[in-house]
Amino acid sequence: MPVPSHILDPPFNIVRCSHAVLDVVNLNASREFYERTIGLHVEDRNDQAIYLRGSEELQHHSLVLRKATEPACNRLGFKVGDEGDLDKAASFFSENGIVHTFAERPFQGRTLQFSDPFGFEVELYASMEKRPHLLRRYDLYRGAHPQRLDHFNVFAAEVQDTLDFYARLGFRLTEYAEEDGPQGRIAAAWLHRKGNVHDFALTNGKGPRLHHFAYWVPGAMNILHLCDVMASSGYLENIERGPGRHGISNAFFLYVRDPDGHRLELYTSDYFTGDHDHAPMRWSLKDPRRQTLWGAPAPRSWFEQGSPFPGQAVREPQFVADVTVTD
């Protein structure tokens, strides 16, 4: 089997994906989009950054928009179990030659930032400032009613190596798309820590780049309402794909682009994956239900465009799969 088995005793404990840090060129335009249209809650702001979160999130932010001259995915954030895990992570990175540094980050304190061997910029922290959740503030409802950050999906130029690296950090495979035949290569992989389909997904393509980040919403009607709102408020062109249902993950989905072109997925209805004997599900690249159980085909932009990481050169993928496979 070409799929690495998960590592039950990882070197340190990543609990889940936590926050995205995006570089945007116009803070006001981004705020208008994320707060008034998508429905995230602005928790803090200054001239340089806006901090937002979903309605159930107790942490200060799950999305940071930073003023910049060029759009980029500045950093992907994951939460670890406790402060000790940060030290274990630093040791592990030192032993394995991974560039890393500790920094103090606003609202999240001691933060361990590293560049993984493939150029993805990641940061780890143990405890962020807390805020009361907004689950019962239905009077603040807007847009798609996003509840929590669910996952990141990236274009990786070296899918198998990237998968091996994150499996070693304790990420467990739930679904994967593979070429048929004895030499079949993995073209996409969904990896989790928190117990649903994914915290982090990898897609064969020009990388390192962010394909999308996703928020979980309570139900499909929230997604249809967002389509109506975007069509009403001048964001029709920002709807890129969907609504529809993925075969992979069983999720009902919508993909939209923000004013800088960063891609956001609204996502609902996947399943529990936390059993120790949970077996990854294989999809043939030739099965069209993988990407789209039903719904219109994804447009070209969806397969090709993504957000680069600042200072990281984008490389061609190691191979071209038989079929385009991003999901």
- The binding site for a second copy (CB under 8 A) comprises 15-16, 37, 56, 58, 79, 81-82, 126-127, 130, 133, 135-141, 147-148, 194-195, 218-221, 224-225, 227-233, 236, 239, 243-245, 247, 250, 252, 268-269, 271-272, 274-279, 289, 293-297
CB of 292 to a second copy, least distance (A): 9
Residue type, 21: V
CB 107 within 8 A of CB 61: yes
CB of 83 to a second copy, least distance (A): 10
Q: Which is nearer to a second copy, 13 or 153 (CB)?
A: 13
Cα→Cα distances 313→178, 206, 208, 218, 250, Å: 26, 10, 8, 38, 34
CB of 84 to a second copy, least distance (A): 10
Q: Which is nearer to a second copy, 16 or 262 (CB)?
A: 16
Q: Spell out the residues 6+ positions from residue 174 whose beta carbon is closer than 8 angstroms to its own.
A: 190, 191, 192, 197, 198, 273, 278, 280, 281
Q: Which is nearer to a second copy, 269 or 312 (CB)?
A: 269
Can you tell me the distance from the alpha carbon of 192 to that of 199, in angstroms, rounded to the nearest whole number? Answer: 5
Q: Which is nearer to a second copy, 73 or 191 (CB)?
A: 191
CB of 30 to a second copy, least distance (A): 17
CB of 179 to a second copy, least distance (A): 22
Cα→Cα distances 312→207, 231, 265, Å: 9, 35, 24
Cα→Cα distances 166→14, 67, 163, 217, Å: 11, 30, 5, 27
**What's the distance, Cα to Cα, between the start and end of the chain in Å?**
22
The H or E element spanning position 103 is strand 100-105
Can you tell me the distance from the alpha carbon of 132 to that of 257, in angstroms, rounded to the nearest whole number? Answer: 29
The H or E element spanning position 151 is strand 148-156
CB of 118 to a second copy, least distance (A): 27
Q: Which is nearer to a second copy, 104 or 228 (CB)?
A: 228
CB of 133 to a second copy, least distance (A): 7
| Strand partners of residue 246 | none
Q: Which is nearer to a second copy, 99 or 135 (CB)?
A: 135
H-type alpha helices, the chain? 27-31, 83-95, 159-168, 220-232, 300-304
In which residue are the tokens 């910029």 written? 121
Q: Which is nearer to a second copy, 98 or 229 (CB)?
A: 229
Can you tell me the distance from the alpha carbon of 208 to that of 96, in angstroms, rounded to the nearest whole number? Answer: 20
Q: Which is nearer to a second copy, 116 or 175 (CB)?
A: 175
CB of 82 to a second copy, least distance (A): 5
